[in-house]
Each structure stands twice: as structure tokens, then as C-alpha cells.
């Protein structure tokens, strides 16, 4: 079935981006927020991401005809880069403005937010108990048709399925930050997910201009983080044990593989706070002298100096 009425639970970084992306393609979007304070915090975020999307759209006009264009255009905003014209991009920007104004609603009443939802995307903070409480509160408020998705980065859908009241219509759809540019959507069911619902979600991801990446079974970290986390850990170990400096490590990777960014540039984008939290979960992080312990100390020193990455203007590198 067509899934046009979308409810987003949580108005944080990812929730607002997902909601905007859905509205951009013409879906009707309701954000459920838990308090008037959340509304005050969420509205400027929606505004800010809407402006960033618009700015990236307009910037894309300058990339038309450039050989680099196809690598850097905002893939979630322009479906067919090869044939797009400047006039079409202007029309997309105008359409986005109208849709953001007309199709985005905010609701504090959970029952009202869910009453007619075709699809609900949970994008609350990564706290398992809070998510379980939310699913429990939602389960009798959703109509039978509702498909329920989690955007959780680290928690498995099977952990939450028993609390949803609809395990067969529940699975994970995992987006990446700045989804209008980095438009991946990892689709991951749990053993009880109905395969037809799974395929419907694959189609939904495509409809909202994401590139659906299908996992055939549950995997902590999905595909991307299963590769990225060990890669970034290996780079940090080379630095923390004094094998080389961050610039040489990045250059080695970039020159040898042709990748545009080495691990420390990626770490700056991810944010060193996240890198630190991931490192501290390693079993030997508290063992004095272990590699993880040394990585933790190195990152903590940078965090204490406010060098948290691109968003702070300085991480391993300085940014204008």
C-alpha cells in the first residue's frame, strides 16, 4: 500500500532530517514531541536543516556540467543528476519550500499523532529503556495498517519487537546523518518481520530518495558500522601507540586507495565524542596501558580542549 502519512517520534538530529526528507517528496509528516520545550528546540532544527537542504540544492546548480558534480551533488534531493537543469533545480527548491510549509505538523498528543499513521519512524535518543517505554505506550494507539520502524544505530530490532504489539510489521530503517546528501538507508528486519513488509519498506526508502541497502539478517552496527568502526579503531591504535601521526596515516590511506578522506578526517566528521563513547565500550578500555586505554586518553584530552571535530571547527584538523 501507499504509505503517505508519516509520524516521526523524536525531533533530534536524525528525526528532523528524516521528517524533512519525507515532506520533500510529498509525504504528510507529523512530529510527535513530548513537551512544549521539545517543540521549542525542534522548530529551529527543522528550519536549519530545511535551509541547509535548500542551500545544497542551489549550490548544485553550479555543479551542472562539472566532472566532479556527480560525486558531490545532494543525491537525496535530485534523483536524476545526469539530465537535471538549473530551472528544474529552482522548481525543486520552490516545491520544497511549499511542502515544508504545508506538510509538516507537530503534535504533543501521542494518540492524535498515531491515529492515522501509515508508517511511524522512531528516532528517539539511543536509550533502550526509554525506547521500550515508548513502544509500550504506542502499541495500542496505532491502527492495524501502521508499519513501525526504528532508526536505532546500535540496538537490534529483536530487542524491541516484543513490545511493539506488531512484531511482523516492525524492522529497522537506518539512515545516515545529512540524509539529503548521504542517502543510505540500511534495511534490517528481525526473525519475525514479515518479508512482504520488509520489501514494502525497501520501496518506501526508495520513494523518499534513499538508496535502500538490504541486510539479510540482524547485525549489530549494520553493514556500514561493522566495517567503519574496526577501520577507525585500527587508525586510532596506530596513532595512540606512536606508530605514526594522524596526517601520515590519512595520507597513506588516501594515496593507496584513492579514498577522498582518511580515517582521521572521517573521525572529525563523525565527532570525537561519539568516537570516545564507542572506544570506552571496549572491554579493555579501563585496563591501564592497553591500546584502547591509550586511545581513550588521547581522545579525552582533545574533548577536554573542546576539539570535538568539524562541528567545533577543530578536531584532528582545523576547519574554517
Binding site for ligand NAD (CB under 6 A): 10-15, 34, 38, 123-126, 130, 134, 151-153, 174-177
Q: How far apart are CA 174 and CA 222, in angstroms?
A: 8
Q: Where in the chain does DSSP place strands (E)? A: 5-9, 28-32, 104-107, 119-122, 147-150, 170-175, 184-188, 211-214
For residues 175 and 316, which CB has a smaller minimum distance to ligand NAD in the complex? Answer: 175
Q: Which is nearer to ligand NAD, 182 or 252 (CB)?
A: 182
What SS3 state is found at 314? strand
State in angstroms the smallest separation of the CB of 131 from ligand NAD.
8
Q: Is 14 helix (H, G, I), strand (E, B) or coil?
A: helix
Residue nearest to ligand NAD (CB): 12
CB of 179 to ligand NAD, least distance (A): 9
User: Which CB, 34 or 61, lies closer to ligand NAD?
Assistant: 34
- Return the number of the residue (159 or 290) whose C-beta is nearest ligand NAD: 159
- State which residue, 136 or 244, has the beta carbon closest to ligand NAD: 136
Shortest distance in whole angstroms from residue 91 CB to ligand NAD: 30
What is the residue whose three cell numbers read 564507542?
278
* 67: phi then psi, degrees, rounded to nearest 5: -65, -25
Smallest distance, Å, CB 186 to ligand NAD?
Answer: 9
CB of 130 to ligand NAD, least distance (A): 4
Please give the full DSSP string across 202-224, using - where no structure is assigned.
Answer: HHHHHHTT-EEEE-SS--TTTTH
- Using the minimum distance from each CB to ligand NAD, give the nearer residue, 134 or 295: 134
- Shortest distance in whole angstroms from residue 123 CB to ligand NAD: 5
Distance CA 149, CA 122 (A): 6
Task: State in angstroms the smallest separation of the CB of 303 from ligand NAD.
Answer: 17
The alpha-carbon radius of gyration of the chain (Å, integer) is: 21
Nearer to ligand NAD, 151 or 293 (CB): 151
Buried b (16+ CB within 10 A) or exposed e, 139-156: eebbeeebbbbbbbbebe
Q: Is 121 exposed, middle or buried (0-12, 13-18, 19+ CB in 10 A)?
A: buried
CB 22 within 8 A of CB 135: no
The set of residues, in sequence order, having a beta carbon less than 8 Å from that of 305 and lying 6+ positions away, is none
Backbone angles phi and psi of 175, in degrees to 5: -95, 170
Q: At closest approach, how far in Å is the CB of 318 from ligand NAD? A: 22
- Residue 103 vs 153, nearer CB to ligand NAD: 153
Amino acid at each position: 500500500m501507499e504509505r503517505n502519512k508519516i509520524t516521526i517520534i523524536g525531533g533530534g538530529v536524525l528525526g528532523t532530517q528524516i521528517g524533512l526528507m519525507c515532506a520533500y517528496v510529498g509525504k504528510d509528516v507529523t512530529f510527535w514531541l513530548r513537551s512544549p520545550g521539545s517543540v521549542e528546540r525542534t522548530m529551529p532544527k527543522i528550519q536549519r536543516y530545511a535551509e541547509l537542504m535548500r542551500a545544497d540544492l542551489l549550490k548544485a546548480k553550479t555543479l551542472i556540467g562539472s566532472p566532479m558534480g556527480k560525486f558531490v551533488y545532494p543525491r537525496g534531493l535530485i534523483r536524476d543528476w545526469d539530465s537535471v537543469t538549473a530551472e528544474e533545480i529552482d522548481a525543486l527548491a520552490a516545491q520544497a519550500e511549499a511542502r515544508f510549509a504545508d506538510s509538516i505538523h507537530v503534535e504533543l498528543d501521542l494518540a492524535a499523532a498515531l491515529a492515522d499513521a501509515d508508517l511511524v519512524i522512531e528516532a528517539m535518543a539511543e536509550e533502550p529503556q526509554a525506547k521500550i517505554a515508548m513502544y509500550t505506550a504506542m502499541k495500542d494507539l496505532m491502527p492495524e495498517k501502521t508499519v513501525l520502524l526504528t532508526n536505532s544505530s546500535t540496538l537490534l530490532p529483536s530487542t524491541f519487537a516484543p513490545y511493539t504489539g506488531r512484531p511482523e510489521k516492525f524492522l529497522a530503517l537506518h539512515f545516515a546523518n545529512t540524509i539529503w546528501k548521504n542517502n543510505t538507508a540500511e534495511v534490517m528486519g528481525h526473525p519475525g518481520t514479515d518479508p512482504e513488509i520488509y520489501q514494502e519498506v525497501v520501496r518506501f526508502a526508495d520513494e523518499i530518495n534513499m538508496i535502500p541497502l538490504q541486510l539479510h539478517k540482524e547485525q549489530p552496527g549494520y553493514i556500514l558500522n561493522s566495517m567503519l568502526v574496526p577501520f577507525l579503531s585500527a587508525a586510532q591504535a596506530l596513532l595512540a601507540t606512536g606508530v605514526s601521526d594522524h596526517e601520515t596515516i590519512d595520507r597513506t590511506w588516501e594515496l593507496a586507495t584513492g579514498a577522498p578522506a582518511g580515517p582521521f578526517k572521517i573521525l572529525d566528521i563523525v565527532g570525537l565524542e561519539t568516537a570516545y563513547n564507542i572506544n570506552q565500550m571496549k572491554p579493555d578500555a579501563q585496563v591501564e596501558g592497553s591500546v584502547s586505554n591509550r586511545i581513550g586518553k588521547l581522545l579525552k584530552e582533545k574533548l577536554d580542549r573542546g576539539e570535538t571535530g568539524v562541528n567545533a571547527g577543530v578536531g584532528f584538523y582545523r576547519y574554517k
